Chains A and B, each alone.
Chain A
Amino acid sequence: MLAVTLDAFTSLDFWIGVGVIAGVYAIFALGLQLNVGFTGVVNFGQAGFMAIGAYTMGILVVKAGWSFWLALPAATLVAMAAGVLIGLPALRLRADYFAIVTIAFAEIVRYSAQNARELTGGNQGLLGFDDDWAELSNTFLEWLEGVGLGDEFLLPLLIVTWGALIVLTAILIPLQRSPWGRVLRAIREDEDAARALGKNTFSYKLQSLAIAAALGAIAGYFLALNLSFLNPQSFEPLFTFIGYAVLVLGGLASYVGVALGAVLLWTLLEATRFIDLPLAAEKVAALRFMLVGLVLILLMAFRPQGILGKRDEMVLGD
């Protein structure tokens, strides 16, 4: 009854698809890594920052007629401002309250995207923000075909997503080793001690959250380009939780682990396609998310530091 088909496994098409979505999740989880892994700030609202970035970009292009390339930095700044805005009251709270407040914030953003229909298109979604990108992407594809390198539609997106991921990781790693990054770690290990040394820990946590918001927004742009369509369902809290699965699979307090975790998780999730299950699509989807749940539970129970994480970096939250 169960037939395993490995055709998909060998197709370039499949791997490019997995690569794009893994890249999006990796960028998304870079922000979570900065917050949770390095600062000890349990941000559960990352999907909200992603939504703010993506929708601001979409609205600026479609409703205000901005150029896509100008809308990107503007929307990133808006997401960072949102990070500061929610951080100002919420970062004063205890870690578990903070987690719940950020998720409530993300839900407010999603409900707003759903209900402010004049701006966001509501559940019908927002289309037509990616013309500038499509033009560039097509030029590149034509060139690729011209030199005989195939016509994979998503290849340009794969290249820029992973290019961005590599650039961002290359910025974050030295930043983490800088005095600034050392203060973040000190806050994670013992905030009172960091404060006693004269550091304004609140301001550092706020900066950490604002940068994570920017990373969330950037992930949002790539997600939007992948879907060519913005709708509220793409920004459910689920996205943040899968981001956490990526984070802990790769390992806490490791930026390289984030990329590894994203590729592993998405290969695992897409692997359900290899198995020809006699089930409706919604039930196959349920199986995949059960798998995410299982990954989270088993990792936390047996290897909480993830694949690349170090055990002594798991001192968070007591």
Chain B
Amino acid sequence: MEAGIAVQQGEATLAERARRMASDHPARVAAAVLVALALALVAAHGLHDTAQRSVNGLISGSYYALGAVGLTLVYGTLKLVNFAHGDMLTFGAYVAFAFNVSIGMPLIAALLIAVALTALLGVAFERVMWRPMRAKGAGLLQLLLMAIGLAFLIRNGIQLVAGTAGRSLDVNVTDSIEFLGLRIGRTELIVVVTGFTTLVLVALMLRVTSLGRQIRALADNFDLAEVTGIDTDRIVIATWIFAAGLAGLAGVLYTASIGVMTPNLGFFLLLGLFAAVILGGIGNAYGALAGGVVLGLVQEWSTLVFDARWKIAVGFAVLILVLIVRPQGIFGRERAL
């Protein structure tokens, strides 16, 4: 009897320790879970298959992360859950299509124009909609529904102009490279390198530049940042330029890597972006980066176990599971709740 109680207590302390470990070092626990998952997959399906899926996961992780960082920057600074963010990806992709295919510019030029115009779109909506609504003191539901309305406007505006037919950028999606027995598309390689380079630059910008510090200050506490003399208006505009510009870039890179775009592409990606943002702890740019990569990896790994058609549902299931265990997201702080 006494021994039984002792064992129970022992188990309780073990569980308690595990719980404390998970809340003190969430990133370590998440990394450990990922490594354990990877090892289990290597054991069950072999090194080659697991490595190939991991490469695929890093590719999709790169555009999830690009989209998610923008989404989370806007959430962090403005507390706006921007349902139109996915459609800004679509906008970027179609601008690139217009300049690359319809006008015949080189892809790199079309990409830069797409990023610039998407950034401009973000700033325009800030001026026309979001700033006046903030001034009015609009509530969560009001802003949510406006963002959904805006998403409808952008997506269907694109459909009105371009129709629903699938479009492709002028890129080579069939050519692939073999490296250590792993196959990766030439365009995919460019996409993943461009994506991660951009993300590293954004992370550095946030970390070391004065603009980056001000953006983080705003995300941390808008009112406090304002009274300490930060020109919040300027920083908000800068945030939109980054967020929307990254969305435009993500849209172009995604379409280049997948090969085809439709007006719905961003909306279908949006939930993945939300998943990445939440996994990383809403409002945390580094978390969004990590969340995007985790989501990409888990989705691609899942294709070893389930049929590939369940990939997207697996992503959402992971989102719900993580939230049950850790409501503030893997990298989120308790305070953020």
The reply to whether B141 and A36 form a contact with Cβ atoms under 8 Å apart is yes
The reply to whether A300 and B145 form a contact with Cβ atoms under 8 Å apart is yes
The reply to whether B152 and A289 form a contact with Cβ atoms under 8 Å apart is yes
**Provided the pairs A36-B141, A99-B144 are in contact, do residues A111 and B313 lie with their beta carbons within 8 angstroms?**
yes
B104 at the interface (CB under 8 A from A): no
The reply to whether A111 and B312 form a contact with Cβ atoms under 8 Å apart is yes
Return the 8 tightest CB-CB contacts between A and B, nearest first.
Answer: A293-B152, A296-B149, A317-B140, A286-B159, A297-B149, A104-B316, A286-B156, A293-B153
Q: Chain A residues with Cβ under 8 A from B324's Cβ?
A: 89
Interface of A with B (CB < 8 Å)? 36, 42, 89-90, 92-97, 99-101, 103-105, 107-108, 111-112, 114-115, 241, 244-245, 248, 280, 282-283, 285-290, 292-297, 299-301, 304, 314-318
Q: Chain A residues with Cβ under 8 A from B278's Cβ?
A: 97, 100
The reply to whether A296 and B139 form a contact with Cβ atoms under 8 Å apart is no
Give A295 Cβ to nearest chain B Cβ, in Å. Answer: 7
The reply to whether B310 and A111 form a contact with Cβ atoms under 8 Å apart is yes
Give A93 Cβ to nearest chain B Cβ, in Å. Answer: 5
A96, A97, A111, A241: the one contacting B327 at CB < 8 Å is A97
**Provided the pairs A111-B312, A248-B145 are in contact, do residues A282 and B319 lie with their beta carbons within 8 angstroms?**
no
The reply to whether B133 and A301 form a contact with Cβ atoms under 8 Å apart is yes
CA distance A249 to B160 in the complex (A): 24
Please name 11 pairs of A and B residues whose Cβ atoms are closer than 8 Å in the assembled complex, sorted by A.
A97-B282, A97-B323, A105-B320, A107-B271, A107-B316, A108-B313, A241-B152, A280-B163, A282-B164, A296-B145, A297-B150
Other A-B pairs, 5, CB within 8 Å; known A282-B163, A299-B145, A318-B140 = A94-B337, A288-B156, A290-B153, A295-B149, A296-B145
Q: Chain B residues with Cβ under 8 A from A316's Cβ?
A: 139-141
Chain B interface main SS type? helix
CA distance A285 to B164 in the complex (A): 11
Q: Chain B residues with Cβ under 8 A from A107's Cβ?
A: 271, 312-313, 316
Interface of B with A (CB < 8 Å)? 81, 129, 132-133, 138-146, 148-153, 155-157, 159-160, 163-164, 263, 271, 274-275, 278, 282, 307, 309-310, 312-313, 316-317, 319-320, 323-324, 327, 337
The reply to whether A318 and B139 form a contact with Cβ atoms under 8 Å apart is yes
Q: Chain B residues with Cβ under 8 A from A286's Cβ?
A: 156-157, 159-160, 263
With CB as the reference atom, state the residue of chain B lying closest to A282: B164
B133, B141, B151, B323: the one contacting A293 at CB < 8 Å is B151
The reply to whether A293 and B310 form a contact with Cβ atoms under 8 Å apart is no
With CB as the reference atom, state the residue of chain B lying closest to A302: B136
The reply to whether B282 and A89 form a contact with Cβ atoms under 8 Å apart is no
B145, B274, B310: the one contacting A244 at CB < 8 Å is B145
The reply to whether B81 and A282 form a contact with Cβ atoms under 8 Å apart is no
The reply to whether B138 and A300 form a contact with Cβ atoms under 8 Å apart is yes
With CB as the reference atom, state the residue of chain B lying closest to A296: B149
Q: Chain B residues with Cβ under 8 A from A299's Cβ?
A: 145
CA distance A241 to B151 in the complex (A): 11
**Provided the pairs A293-B149, A294-B149, A316-B141 are in contact, do residues A282 and B310 lie with their beta carbons within 8 angstroms?**
no
With CB as the reference atom, state the residue of chain B lying closest to A248: B145
The reply to whether B316 and A108 form a contact with Cβ atoms under 8 Å apart is yes
The reply to whether B146 and A301 form a contact with Cβ atoms under 8 Å apart is yes
Q: Chain B residues with Cβ under 8 A from A283's Cβ?
A: 159-160, 163
**Provided the pairs A282-B163, A314-B139, A317-B139 are in contact, do residues A290 and B323 lie with their beta carbons within 8 angstroms?**
no
**Provided the pairs A104-B271, A104-B316, A280-B163 are in contact, do residues A289 and B145 lie with their beta carbons within 8 angstroms?**
no
Q: Chain A residues with Cβ under 8 A from B152's Cβ?
A: 241, 289-290, 292-293, 296
Give B336 Cβ to nearest chain A Cβ, in Å. Answer: 9
CA distance A114 to B309 in the complex (A): 9
CA distance A97 to B133 in the complex (A): 22
Q: Chain A residues with Cβ under 8 A from B337's Cβ?
A: 94
Q: Chain B residues with Cβ under 8 A from A241's Cβ?
A: 148, 152
**Provided the pairs A101-B320, A296-B152 are in contact, do residues A95 and B145 lie with their beta carbons within 8 angstroms?**
no
A93, A108, A115: the one contacting B317 at CB < 8 Å is A108
Give A291 Cβ to nearest chain B Cβ, in Å. Answer: 9
CA distance A236 to B29 in the complex (A): 35
CA distance A86 to B279 in the complex (A): 18
Give A241 Cβ to nearest chain B Cβ, in Å. Answer: 5
CA distance A295 to B150 in the complex (A): 10
